[in-house]
Amino acid sequence: MRQVHLLGLFAILVTGFCSTSAFAQEPNDDDDPQTQTEEPNEAKKADQKAEADAAAKAPEPAKAPTPEPEPVPAVTTKPKFGDTAVTGYLRGGFGASSLKGRMTCFSLALPGSLKSKYRLGNECEVWSETHFTTVVYAGADGSVAHVHFMPTVYIPTDSIGYAPTGTISAPVFKTSTGAALSFPNLYVDIEGIPWLAGGTAWVGNRYYKRESVYISDFFYWNPSGVGAGIEDIHLGKDLRLSYAAFAVDGEPTVAAQAPAPSLPPQASFGVRNDLQLRGIKPYASGEFQVGVQVIANYSSDPDSHGGWGVTLQHVQQLLGGENKLALQYGRGGGTGFGTLARFYYPDFSVRHPLKESRVRVVDVLTIQPTPWLGAQATFVYQHDDLGTGAGSGGVIDWISAGTRVGWAFTEHAKLLGEVGLDQVKKDNGADPQWLAKFTVAPAITAGRGFLNRPELRLFYTYAMWNEAARTATIDSSRLYTATDKLSGASYGVQAETWW
Q: What are the sequence ranges of the domains in the chain?
A: 84-255+264-498
Task: Report pLDDT for 389.
Answer: 85
Q: Can you give the pLDDT at residue 116?
A: 86
Give per-residue pLDDT as tens, 273-294.
Answer: 999 999 999 999 999 999 999 9
Give the per-residue pLDDT at 176: 44
- Looking at domain 84-255+264-498, does it have CATH number 3.40.50.720? no
pLDDT tens column, 67-93: 556 666 666 788 999 999 999 999 999
Write out the E strands in 166-249.
167-169, 178-191, 200-206, 211-213, 218-221, 225-234, 240-248
What is the per-residue pLDDT for 172?
43
* Mean pLDDT of all residues in 53-57: 48
Q: Are 349 and 333 in contact (CB under 8 A)?
A: yes
Q: Give the Cα separation of 246 and 268 in Å (integer).
A: 14
- What is the structure's pLDDT at 14? 32
* C-beta of residue 52 within 8 angstroms of C-beta of residue 87: no
Model confidence over 431-440: pLDDT tens digits? Answer: 999 999 999 9
The band of 428, judged by pLDDT with boundaries at 50, 70 and 90, is very high
Report residue 75: phi and psi, to 5°: -85, 115
Give the separation between CA 338 and CA 218, rounded to whole angstroms.
Answer: 10
- Integer Cα distance of 276 and 290 in angstroms: 6
Distance CA 499, CA 497 (A): 7
pLDDT band (50, 70, 90) for residue 1: very low
Predicted local distance difference test score (pLDDT) of residue 167: 55
341-367, pLDDT tens digit by residue?
A: 334 445 788 888 999 999 999 999 999
The dihedral formed by the CA atoms of 114, 118, 120 and 122, expressed in degrees to the nearest 10: -50
Look at residue 252 in the predicted model and tell me its pLDDT. Answer: 67
Secondary structure E strands in 284-372: 286-297, 307-318, 321-332, 357-370
Tens of pLDDT, residues 92-145: 998 999 998 889 999 998 876 677 899 999 999 889 999 999 999 999 999 999
| pLDDT surpassing 60 at residue 54 | no
Average pLDDT in the chain: 83
DSSP run (H or E) holding 46: helix 42-57
pLDDT per residue as tens digits for the range 304-340: 999 999 999 999 999 999 999 999 999 998 998 876 4
Closest CA to 404 of 207, 155, 144, 216: 216
267 pLDDT tier (thresholds 50, 70, 90): confident
Per-residue pLDDT, 41:
46
pLDDT of residue 404: 98
pLDDT given for residue 26 in this prediction: 37
**For residues 420 and 44, which has the higher predicted lDDT (pLDDT)?**
420
Listed residue (202, 14, 217) closest to 123, CA to CA: 217
**What pLDDT shows up at residue 57?**
47
Percent of the chain scored above 90 by pLDDT?
63
pLDDT band at 169 (very low <50, low <70, confident <90, very high): low
Confidence of residue 220 (pLDDT cuts 50, 70, 90): very high
At 101 the pLDDT is 87
Which pLDDT band holds residue 257 (cuts at 50, 70, 90)?
A: very low
Chain Cα centroid distance, residue 286: 16
Task: Say what the pTM is.
Answer: 0.81
Task: Look at residue 256 in the predicted model and tell me its pLDDT.
Answer: 45
Q: Given this model, what pLDDT does residue 108 score? A: 94
pLDDT, residue 253, reads 62
